[in-house]
Chain A
Amino acid sequence: MQALRWIVLLPLIGAAINLTLGSRIQRSVGRAGVAVLGSGMALASFAIAVTGFLKLRALEPESRLLLDNVLPWLHVGSLNVSLAFQLDPLSAVMVLVVTGIGSLIHIYSFGYMDEDPALWRFFGLLNLFLFAMLTLVLGDNILVMFVGWEGVGLCSWALIGFWYKDHANTAAANKAFLFNRIGDFAFLCGTMLLFWSLAGLGHATLVFRELDTVVGLLEGQALWGVPVATLATLLLFIGATGKSAQIPLYVWLPDAMAGPTPVSALIHAATMVTAGVYMVSRLHCLFSLAPFTLNVIAVVGTTTAIFAATIAVTQHDIKKVLAYSTVSQLGYMFVALGCGAYAAGVFHLVTHAFFKACLFLGAGSVIHASHHEQDMRRMGGLRTKMPLTFWTFLVSTMAIAGLPPLAGFFSKDEILLKAYQHDPLLWGVGLVTAGLTAFYMFRQVFLVFFGESRAGASLDPHASAHAADHHGHHVHEVHESSAAMTLPLVLLACGALTAGWLGIPSALGGNNLFTEWLSPVFASGGEHHGVEHEGLELEYALMVVSVLVALAGITLAYLVYLRKSLNADTFSRIARGVPYRLSFNKYYVDEFYYGTVLAGTLALSRALGWFDKVIIDGVVNGAAASVRAVSILGGGIDKVVVDGLVNFTARAFNGVGGALRLAQTGNINAYVYVLLIGVTAVLLAGAW
C-alpha cells in the first residue's frame, strides 16, 4: 500500500519546511502559519493512518498486513534490508496512538507556546519527532526501526534542550541522549548477534515477519555458553531500558522534564518512552524463546514500578511527579511483557498514553496559567479558577489510579492478573505500587487544585531557586487556558475515560476487543490465551482487591493533604527520616552514576589526552631531536619515561650531530690524527 509512506513522509515534509523556511513563514504569514502547517501534517498523517487501519480491519484477521516497500536500502554481502514500512494490527495501534495524540498535542502546543519566538522551530521538531516515531513503529525491519529509534533520540534531545539558553536544559538533553546511546549500543550488539546467528543458520534477515518464522531455529544455539536467544534478547532489552527509562537507565527521564510540557506529554509520556515496550512486543517471538530474559524483564519492571512510585511520593515539582509516575507505569508494561502478556502490555501502553498525556497537558495548562510555576507548594485552589483543566485532570488521575470504569482500571488489572498467574510476588509488588500511584496522584490533585492558593509562598530549603524571581507573578490573575489547550485536554480525558472499554475482559462480560485485535500478531508468540475457567473467581477477587487498594491510597492522600488530619504526627516523623530523604533525593542514583561512570570516563580521557601530547608526541619529538621535546621533558611529569625513552632518542640525533661538530676542531694536526685513527681502525677491522 503506497499510502503508508505518506504517514511517515508528511510530518517529515512539515519538519523540513518549518525548520528551513519556518522563521520566514512566521514573520510573513504569522505564528498561525507554522502552527497550521505542523498540526496539519500531523492530522493528515493521522487521517491516512485511520484509513490504513480501516483497510486493515477489512482484511481477514490472519492476513492483516499492509506493506509499502519504498526503496532498497542496503544490500551488501549477506545483509539485505530495504526502506519498507509495514502496517499490521500492532503497528496500527501504535500509529493511531502516535498520530492521534500527536495531533492533539500539536494543537495544544499552539496555545501553550504562544509567547515563544521560535515557534517554527518547535513545530518543526515536533513534526520531525512524529516522523522518527512513525518510522520506528512502521519500519518492517530492525534496521529501519533503529533509524526511528535513534531519530526519536535526536528529537527528544532537541526538544528537551529547546530553551537552550539555560545550561540546565541542554545538560538534561545531553544526559537523555547519552543514556539512550548506551541503550542503543546494546541494541546494536543484540541486532548483530541476532543477524549473524541467523545468517549462520542460512536465514540472514532483519525483517520482522521473516524473523517471526525463523527465530525458532535459534533454539539450542549458544554463544560463550549462553543461549543466543537469551543473550540477544538481554542486549535488546538493555536497549529498551534506555528508551523506556527502566532501571538502570531511567535517570534521564525526570531531567527530561526540562523541556516544554507538550514535549513531556508527547515524547516522554505517550510515545517515545513506549518504544521499548513496542520493540519487545514486536520481537515477542524472539523473547518468548528466552524465559530467562522474560523473568529479568518482569523483575526489572516491577522493581522500576515501585522504585519510581516511592520517589514520586515526595517530589514537589508537578512535572517530576508525573515523570516518575511515567517511569513506574512503564514498569507495569514491562511486567506484562515479562509475563508474556504482550497484548496486556500494549493495552496499558495505549490507555496510559491517553491519561498520562492528558495529565501532562493538564499540568502544562496549570504551569502556563501560573506563569511557569512548577512547584506544587506554590499552587492550590485552582479548582475554581480553571475548571476544565481540573475536571480533565481529575478524570485522568482516577484513570491512572485504576478506578473503574476508567481506562487504567482495565489495563492495569489485566496486567496484575497476568502477573499473579506468573508469580504472586510480582502481583503483590504491583499492588503496592498501585496503592502508591493512587496516593501520589491524588496528593498532586489535592495540592494543585484544592485548598487555598499558595502562590508565591516561601519555601523550605528544598525549594527550587525559582522562589525569588517568581515572587512577583502570583499577583497576576490565574485563569483558564485558551481553547487550543483545553480542547485537546477534553478529548484526551474522554480517551482516558473510554479507552479502557476496548479491553473489557470476558470476566466482566466484555469481549476483550483489544487482545482479539492483536491476537493475529501474538498468536505465534506463545501468549497464554483465554483465562481458564476456575480463574474467573480469582479474576474478580483481584479486581476488588486492587480497587480497594487504590481507594485506600486515595483516602490516605485525602487525609494527609486535604484534611491534614494525619499531617502533624505521623508524616512529620517520616519526613525527617531516612526514607523520606532517600526518596526525595531519588536514592542518589544520579550522584552515583556521576561519581562512577561519568567521572571515570572523563578522567580516563584526560589521562589519555595527556599521554598523547606528552609521551607519544614526546617520544616522536625526541626522535626528531626537536628542542621542544627536550622542553617537554624538562617540564614533563613522568621522569621514567623522560629519561627512559625520549632523552635517549633525543641524544641519539641531536647529541651525535653536536659531537661530530666538536670533532671538527679546526686543528689540522688533529685531522691527521683522525685520519691515522681511521686507517688503524680499518686495518684492525680487516685483521678481524
Chain B
Amino acid sequence: MLGMSMTTVGLAHYLFVSLVLLCLGLFCVLTRRNAIGVLMGIELILNSAGINFVAASRFGSSGFDGQVFAVFIIMLAAAESAIGLAVVLGIYRRMRAIDTSRLTTLQG
C-alpha cells in the first residue's frame, strides 16, 4: 500500500504514527476525568491529523496545501485550548475542581 518498503521511511509510516497518535488522543479523552487531560487528548487528535496532512503533501505531488493546512491546525488548536483553559479556569474557580465526572448538572 502506497509504496511501503523496509528501507525508506514511506507515507505509510507517517500514517501509522498518526493513527497511533489518534488512538492515544481518543484514549486520553475517554479515560481522563481531569478536564486539562481531556483537552490534551484533543490536542493529540488534532496533531495526528496534522501529521497526516504534512506527510500526504510531502509524498503527494501537489504543492504545499498540506503543510499550510497543518499550520492552520496548530493555530486553531492553540486558540481552542486557550478557550478551553479559560473555561476550565472559570469552573475551577467556582468548584475548586476540574473533574469532568462532576459536571453533570445538565443531563436527561
Contacts and interface: CB of A to CB of B under 8 A. Distances in A.
B107 A666 contact: yes
A664 B30 CA distance: 16
B23 to A, nearest CB: 11
Contacts of A667: 100-101, 103-104, 107
Interface string B88-108: 000000000000110111111
Given A667-B100, A667-B101, A673 B108 contact: no
A667 B101 CA distance: 6
Instruction: Place the interface of chain A in its size category.
Output: 10 to 19
A661 interface: yes
B106 to A, nearest CB: 6
Contacts of A664: 107-108
A104 B75 CA distance: 117
B104 A669 contact: no
Nearest to B102: A667
29 contacts: A664-B107, A664-B108, A665-B104, A665-B107, A666-B104, A666-B105, A666-B106, A666-B107, A666-B108, A667-B100, A667-B101, A667-B103, A667-B104, A667-B107, A668-B38, A668-B100, A668-B103, A669-B29, A669-B30, A669-B31, A669-B32, A669-B33, A669-B100, A669-B101, A672-B26, A672-B29, A672-B30, A673-B30, A676-B26
Contacts of B29: 669, 672
A661 B108 contact: yes
Interface in A642-677: 661, 664-669, 672-673, 676
A664 B108 CA distance: 5
Interface string B29-53: 1111100001000000000000000
Nearest to B42: A672
Interface string B1-44: 00000000000000000000000001001111100001000000
A665 B30 CA distance: 15
Interface of A: 661, 664-669, 672-673, 676
Contacts of B101: 667, 669
Nearest to B33: A669
Contacts of A666: 103-108
A624 to B, nearest CB: 22
A668 B38 CA distance: 10
Contacts of A661: 108
A676 B29 CA distance: 11
Nearest to B104: A666
Contacts of B32: 669
A661 to B, nearest CB: 5
A499 B33 CA distance: 115
Contacts of A668: 38, 100, 103
B43 to A, nearest CB: 15
Contacts of B38: 668-669
Given A667-B101, A668-B103, A669-B33, 5 more contacts: A664-B108, A665-B104, A666-B103, A669-B38, A672-B29
A289 B95 CA distance: 104
A669 B29 CA distance: 7
A132 B103 CA distance: 86
The 8 lowest CB-CB distance pairs between A and B, nearest first, are: A666-B107, A666-B104, A661-B108, A668-B100, A672-B29, A666-B106, A664-B107, A664-B108
Contacts of A676: 26, 30
A615 to B, nearest CB: 34
A672 B105 CA distance: 17
Contacts of A665: 104, 107
Nearest to A676: B26
A422 to B, nearest CB: 90
Nearest to B100: A668
A101 B26 CA distance: 107
Contacts of B105: 666
Contacts of A673: 30
A224 B105 CA distance: 77
A664 to B, nearest CB: 6
A676 B45 CA distance: 13
A666 B100 CA distance: 10
A656 to B, nearest CB: 15
Interface in B59-108: 100-101, 103-108
Nearest to B41: A672
A669 B100 CA distance: 8
